[in-house]
Amino acid sequence: MGGCAEGVPVSPTSSQTGIEADRMLTIELLERSYSRRTPLLKAERDFQASLEEIGRQGVAGPIYQILKENGSLHEVPDFYREGLEKMRDFSAYGNLLVKSHADRILEGLEREGIPTIALKGIWLSERLYGSMGVRPTADIDLLVREEQLEDASKLLYSLGFENADIERHNSYHRMFGKRNPGTQSPIFVELHWHVIQTDYCRMECSRLWEHSKPLGSYEHIRELSAPDLFYTMCLHGAKHHMSSLKHVLDIARMIHLFGPQISYESLLQRAREDQLYGMVVMALSVAYRELPHLSRLKTFGALRTWFPWDQELAAKKDEDYRHYRFKGVTYYVYQSLFAMGKLDLPSHRALFLWRSVFPHPEMIRVYLGRPETDSGFQLYARWLGRFWLMRGHRTGSAPASGILLQGDDKR
């Protein structure tokens, strides 16, 4: 596929990326705030549209924090600032509920002497923004060694969590769920023994453990080093096809905070060895293309501009999650190009294409909400016929487990 040569410093100007759609208004506002340009947006209706974007993307806390740090809050209308504050406070309350469960889990893991790395969630919010209430989160992500997975699982069961593993064929984490007393939202825990699907890479997690450091006053609970955190957040964003503005903001925030601690040369060499080069480069390319000021902070020489990108279109990936609805040819073309770009080997691309047509039967059962009595043949027939049978319509999805939990799966 054509495009710029990797390894040559590139500044992602609009003329260079002419195939991109217009930037989201919220991204335009952020870029102008970082560049100290005014006005942030042209008209009041643009601020209203941006506020709606932020509501859909769930990023009010980070946006408010960035505008405050950049001295830009006085440049926005009162209704915009008040809207951000209202959404931020709502997310902070949700994070507080998650934190109460997370604290009990960490205390139990510490008491049992189970080494654990706290991954994303409230800990990432505190690390990136100085407060656990800024970056919204809906679940608790933990990394344990595979040989201690059962011990950690037993602890979660003892705390009232139940198996919510809707992807039982998954090769790198288990899911647990629990109803949150007093709310309709469930609390999910992802218990990882790896950070990425192992079918598409040869990454080992031993390096993450070696460079991790104690979290707070804990002895057995740890957090990732800054370079490892950056690496894993690039992988996380690419895994989700950078579908949320949150992924872009996470990467940008880490470049602002940890830029001097991150060597792109070392990062890309490591990613090549792990067969994850494409994932890192695609994630960073989206972040640098959406927020060009990042090139002034830290030059990224492997930028890719050959693939079309539209951040608002990418968000369709999370719409009606676990429900089928046709999202348009353009969406699927963009998604397919991103998927091909993030996979390093031809064999990985072939496996991806095969699984797109013939996914694991359990995945089909979950996505289409089919009963256990459906045979493999019936599941595949429904899966392959879904474009014709359900075009423009929605179909119910199966519950995550017997508890369940009637909430959005926010992984």
Over residues 226-259, the pLDDT tens digits come to 999 999 999 999 999 999 999 999 999 999 999 9
pLDDT at 11 over 80: no
Let me know if residue 94 belongs to a domain: yes
pLDDT at 410 over 50: no
Quick one: pLDDT at residue 10?
A: 40
- What's the pLDDT band for 12 if we cut at 50, 70, 90? very low
Quick one: pLDDT at residue 155?
A: 98
Over the stretch 327-343, which tens digit does the pLDDT of each residue have? 788 998 999 999 999 99
Quick one: pLDDT at residue 328?
A: 82
Domain count, the chain: 1
DSSP string, 278-328: HHHHHHHHHHHHH-TTHHHHS--TT---SS---HHHHGGGGTTTTS-----
Let me know if residue 107 belongs to a domain: yes
Highest mean predicted confidence (pLDDT) among 19-28, 92-101, 140-149, 172-181? 140-149
pLDDT at 17 over 50: no
Per the model's pLDDT, the better-predicted residue between 152 and 402 turns out to be 152
Let me know if residue 178 belongs to a domain: yes
Let me know if residue 410 belongs to a domain: no
Mean pLDDT of 361-371: 80
pLDDT at 59 over 60: yes
Let me know if residue 99 belongs to a domain: yes
**Long-range contacts: 17-23, Cβ < 8 Å, 24+?**
17/289, 17/305, 17/309, 19/305, 19/308, 20/289, 20/308, 20/309, 20/310, 21/308, 21/309, 21/310, 21/312, 21/313, 23/290, 23/311
Instruction: Assign residue 152 the CATH number of its domain.
Output: 3.30.460.40
pLDDT at 9 over 50: no
pLDDT at 5 over 60: no
Let me know if residue 96 belongs to a domain: yes
Q: What range does the domain containing 169 cover?
A: 25-357
DSSP string, 317-341: GGTTTTS-----HHHHHHHHHHHHH
Let me know if residue 376 belongs to a domain: no
Nearest to 382 by CA among 369, 400, 401: 369
Mean pLDDT of 115-138: 94
Which pTM value belongs to this model? 0.86
Quick one: pLDDT at residue 101?
A: 94
Over the stretch 19-38, which tens digit does the pLDDT of each residue have? 334 679 999 999 999 999 99
Quick one: pLDDT at residue 170?
A: 60
Average pLDDT over the chain reads 86
Let me know if residue 366 belongs to a domain: no
Mean pLDDT of 348-366: 84
What are the Cα distances from residue 304, in Å, to 96, 184, 307?
Answer: 39, 42, 7
